[in-house]
Amino acid sequence: MTQTQHASRHLIIGGGSMGLAAADALVRAGAESIQVLDAHCPPHSHGAHHGETRLIRLAYGEGSGYVGLAEQAWAGWQQLEQETGASLLLPCGVINMGPSDVPFIQQVQASAREYGLPLTVLAGDTARRRFPGWQINTDWTAAVEHRAGVLWVERIVAAWRARIERARHVTLTTNASVIALEPLQGGGATAVCADGRRFTAERVLLAAGQHIEPLLTPLGIHVPLTRVRKTFAWFDADARYQPDCFPGFSLTDPERGIYYGFPDLNGAGFKMGRHDQGQTVQPGVPLAPFGDHDEDMAELQQVIDRYLPGVGALRHGAVCQYIRTPDEHFLIDEVMPGLVMAGGFSGHGFKFACALGDTLADWLHTGTRAGSLAGFTLSRAACQPRAGRE
């Protein structure tokens, strides 16, 4: 096999949401000699960025430490819309529902109070009257975020790719499957591709989703990332589920689980998925299609039957993957000199992509980590190997 060597100042492995966001930010910062590699051709369905839409929320139930990053991202998405002229953000709001003592619901309210975010808190019976598409429990709480909504993810990835391909000093190489990393003595690494090509850089960002763990493990770096098969589906729905009267949502049911969903956008149908649970899958193993597991449909149908009176027949289902850490917070760290990894975003990461892209680009360009990333290091307790485990 003939080996071809390519050298650059900055190398990004993974041309998905975080990788392309970082590359775009490097271009805007005036960086030179940037190489981006992707095993496929983004946007595509092999990573975690497909499925058309994601929610963006600011009154953050996962912890108030994310709010500043979310506000930065909200401004960034608006700026990207202005610069590209594309419709990328639909500010239809998000409603968070569940029993009032659920920690997620409590943290949404705490985040709003701490940061002065617009939030309307409704009792369950009031929410049912205001949003007739919902028949939630009357003793639940519904927290409506007004500065929130839906991101068109595949449009965003395509917009970043188009800007990168027009830019000088950056090269996007598709169908470049990286199978190994070789650290350089002075910092950085060489990425070895399956076809023999080699890409070397002194500053490397590894943002390759399910491939992060297989690439770092041979280097003696333990990263506790788990790949989880997830499902979501679109359904027929009546006029109660249009975006002018039905926000995006998160729903926490102590018996049925945690769910998220979207209004009927452009006639595509009502979309929902389950956030918790799922099936663990090893990296590289194909995901079983929607319907192969009995719970794929059953877990969605139980929520529809209980809470969503105007949602009807299944149109189609799909599968995706989450790449999760044990505590479900992000994992962003310089794991070797000149080698920064960014992973564990699945489930709630895409909304931050433009802000994290700026931060990761600055880290690559200057060598200095922003303080906002301090809580995402590999050294935190949740990411340490547990006793009795290999």
Domains and CATH numbers, the chain: 5-49+154-221+327-383 (3.50.50.60), 78-152+226-324 (3.30.9.10)
Looking at the annotation, which residues are catalytic?
Answer: 50, 53-54, 271, 275, 320, 351
Rg of the Cα atoms in the chain: 21
Q: Is the pLDDT of residue 390 over 70?
A: no
Distance in angstroms (rounded) separating the CA atoms of residues 58 and 91:
12
Q: Is the pLDDT of residue 83 over 80?
A: yes
Q: Is the pLDDT of residue 366 over 50?
A: yes
Give the confidence band of 49 by pLDDT, cuts at 50, 70, 90: low
Task: Specify whether the CB–CB gap between 285 and 214 falls below 8 A.
Answer: no
Could you give the percent of the chain with pLDDT greater than 70? 96
* Distance, first Cα to last Cα, the chain: 35
Chain mean position to CA 232: 15
Q: Is the pLDDT of residue 109 over 70?
A: yes
Res 51: pLDDT: 74
How many C-alpha atoms does 367 have within 13 Å on its Cβ side? 8
Q: Is the pLDDT of residue 184 over 80?
A: yes
Q: Is the pLDDT of residue 379 over 50?
A: yes
Six-digit token string for 16: 């998905």
The model carries a pTM of 0.94
Q: Collapsing DSSP states into helix, strand and coil, what is residue 303?
A: helix
Number of Cβ within a 10 Å radius of residue 281: 17
Q: Work out the mean pLDDT of the chain and round it to a whole number.
A: 93
Instruction: Give the orientation angle of helix 17-28 with respect to helix 353-366, to 10 degrees.
Output: 60
Q: What's the mean pLDDT in 245-252?
A: 98
Give the confidence band of 389 by pLDDT, cuts at 50, 70, 90: very low
Q: Is the pLDDT of residue 1 over 70?
A: no
Q: Is the pLDDT of residue 387 over 50?
A: no
Six-digit token string for 283: 């990296």
Give the confidence band of 85 by pLDDT, cuts at 50, 70, 90: very high
Q: What's the mean pLDDT in 135-144?
A: 97
Six-digit token string for 177: 């499957």
DSSP string for 305-355: HHH-TTEEEEEEEEEEEEEE-TTS--EEEEEETTEEEEE--TTT-GGGHHH
Give the confidence band of 386 by pLDDT, cuts at 50, 70, 90: very low
Q: Which single residue is written with the structure tokens 């969503």?
A: 308
Give the confidence band of 321 by pLDDT, cuts at 50, 70, 90: very high
Kindly report whether the peptide bond that precedes residue 385 is cis, defined as omega within 30 degrees of 0: no
